[in-house]
């Protein structure tokens, strides 16, 4: 048995409006993770009379701290792309010249009550901005979990470029960078590790875009993106033209950017209204922000799409952005 390797297979189920992550562990003497299967009748992906679904490995992450992780995509029993598999469509349009940086926001929660950590005695008595990048026991909760998640992802070879406490107590963000379709694979695996590590601390994770009503920021997943032309042969006309293209299909973008996003995109708390589209330099109230970095580098750089919700599927985001801008 010492020659056996263990692989933790991760896939997305068929629940709507947002998929859940699922996993199971395989022990094998094979050198690479083989194709596998699962009971799709338990995940909203098949009927009980014909329940086999297939797991096809797409990325393997060597893990010095446990099972190697295997991100997979789902096929039906006849080897056709399963309707719940949005990776396949994204992979058809996204090439490695496209770079992405996801800003994943979320809340750590009490798994028994669902309330954010630090809210056990009711709504915090201070304004939300005081908690942003806070330090001290009265200003931040969950730092040890965030730090453990950061190091676990780096150990897997996933490029997290930073973390910070966000504007609400118990709210955090991490930034995940990647190239091509692997950027979305990495984001899903980083999410999986977030939930799993929080589980080890006895803590929940909430990635709903507006878990707390009132004068509190929601949670988003701002998506920064660029291609080779944007990074090295840019111009004001190029960047504004891309913004205009995305604006013409704004409704399609919103449909791909996560459920319940209307509760977050209200025109308040550094958002544009969900029914409107705008872009501007350094404008965090716009749908798309043109960073000052881009302007100061002679219009060579990137754009930030501020519309995606924290629960959005990165495969859908990539397919929409790249599919729109390469038509």
Distance separating alpha carbons of residues 222 and 306, to the nearest angstrom: 5
Question: Is there a single domain that holds both residue 229 and residue 265?
Answer: yes
Query: What DSSP character marks residue 166?
Result: -
Domain membership of residue 52 (yes or no) is: yes
Within this chain, do residues 62 and 151 fall inside the same structural domain, yes or no? Answer: no
CB 187 within 8 A of CB 115: no
pLDDT at position 127, please?
A: 85
- Are residues 75 and 141 located together in one domain of the fold? no
In a domain, 93, yes or no: no
Report how far residue 62's alpha carbon sits from residue 282's, in angstroms, rounded to the nearest whole number: 39
**CATH at 73:** 3.10.20.70
- Decide which of 50, 85, 120 is a domain's last residue: 85
Range of the domain at 255: 99-325
* 92, part of any domain: no
Same domain, 37 and 115: no
Q: What is the pLDDT of residue 235?
A: 98
125 plus 74 within the same structural domain: no
Same domain membership, residue 113 and residue 233: yes
User: Which pairing describes strands 279-281 and 204-206: parallel, antiparallel, or unpaired?
Assistant: unpaired
Task: Quickly count: other Cβ atoms within 10 Å of residue 112's Cβ.
Answer: 8
CATH number at residue 254: 3.30.590.10
Q: What is the pLDDT of residue 49?
A: 85
Residues 195, 309, single domain; the answer is: yes
- Examine residue 37 and state whether it is found in any structural domain, yes or no: yes
- Do 149 and 208 belong to one domain? yes
On whether both 113 and 67 belong to a single domain, the answer is: no
pLDDT reported for residue 121: 85
Res 154: pLDDT: 98
Residue 65: CB atoms within 10 Å: 8
Closest CA to 256 of 304, 191, 178, 321: 321
Alpha-carbon gap, residue 227 to 67, rounded angstroms: 34
CA distance 176 to 172: 13
Of 63, 85, 107, the domain-final residue: 85
Closest to 256 (Cα-Cα) out of 227, 304, 221:
221
Q: Are residues 47 and 115 in the same domain?
A: no
Q: Does any domain span residue 287?
A: yes
The total number of structural domains that make up the chain: 2
**Residue 292: predicted pLDDT:** 97
Does any domain span residue 228?
yes
User: Which segments of 94-181 does DSSP mark as H helices, in order?
Assistant: 143-156
Burial of 262 (0-12, 13-18, 19+ CB in 10 A): middle
User: How many Å apart are CA 231 and CA 314, to the nearest integer?
Assistant: 22
Length of the chain: 327
Q: Which two tokens stand for residue 229?
A: 């032309």
Of the candidates 23, 57, 85, which is a domain's last residue?
85
The pLDDT averaged over each successive group of 10 residues in the chain (327 residues) is 88 98 97 96 93 97 96 96 97 98 98 94 87 95 98 98 96 98 98 98 98 92 98 98 98 98 94 97 96 98 98 98 96
- Does one domain contain both 108 and 52? no
Same-domain check for residues 105 and 252: yes
């Amino acid at each position: 048995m010492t020659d056996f390797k263990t692989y933790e297979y991760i896939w997305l189920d068929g629940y709507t409006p947002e998929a859940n992550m699922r996993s199971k562990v395989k022990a094998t003497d094979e050198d690479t993770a083989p194709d596998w299967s699962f009971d799709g009748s338990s995940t909203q992906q098949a009927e009980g009379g014909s329940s086999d679904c297939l797991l096809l490995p797409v990325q393997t992450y060597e893990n010095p701290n446990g099972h190697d992780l295997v991100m997979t995509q789902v096929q039906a029993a006849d080897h056709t792309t399963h309707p719940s598999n949005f990776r396949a469509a994204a992979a058809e349009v996204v090439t490695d010249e496209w770079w992405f940086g996801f800003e994943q926001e979320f809340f750590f929660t009490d798994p028994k009550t669902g309330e954010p950590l630090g809210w056990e005695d009711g709504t915090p008595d201070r304004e939300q901005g005081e908690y942003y990048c806070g330090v001290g026991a009265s200003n931040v909760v969950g730092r040890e979990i965030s730090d453990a998640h950061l190091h676990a992802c780096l150990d897997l070879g996933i490029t997290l470029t930073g973390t910070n406490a966000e504007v609400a107590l118990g709210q955090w963000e991490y930034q995940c960078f990647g190239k091509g379709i692997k950027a979305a694979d990495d984001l899903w695996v980083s999410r999986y590790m977030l939930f799993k590590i929080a589980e080890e601390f006895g803590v929940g994770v909430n990635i709903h875009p507006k878990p707390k009503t009132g004068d509190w920021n929601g949670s988003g997943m701002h998506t920064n993106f660029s291609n080779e032309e944007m990074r090295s042969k840019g111009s004001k006309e190029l960047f504004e033209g891309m913004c205009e293209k995305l604006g013409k299909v704004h409704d399609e973008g919103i449909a791909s950017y996560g459920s319940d996003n209307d509760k977050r995109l209200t025109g308040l708390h550094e958002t544009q209204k969900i029914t409107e589209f705008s872009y501007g330099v350094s404008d965090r109230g716009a749908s798309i922000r043109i960073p000052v970095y881009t302007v100061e580098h002679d219009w060579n750089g990137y754009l930030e799409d501020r519309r995606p919700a924290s629960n959005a599927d990165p495969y859908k985001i990539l397919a929409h952005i790249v599919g729109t801008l390469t038509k």
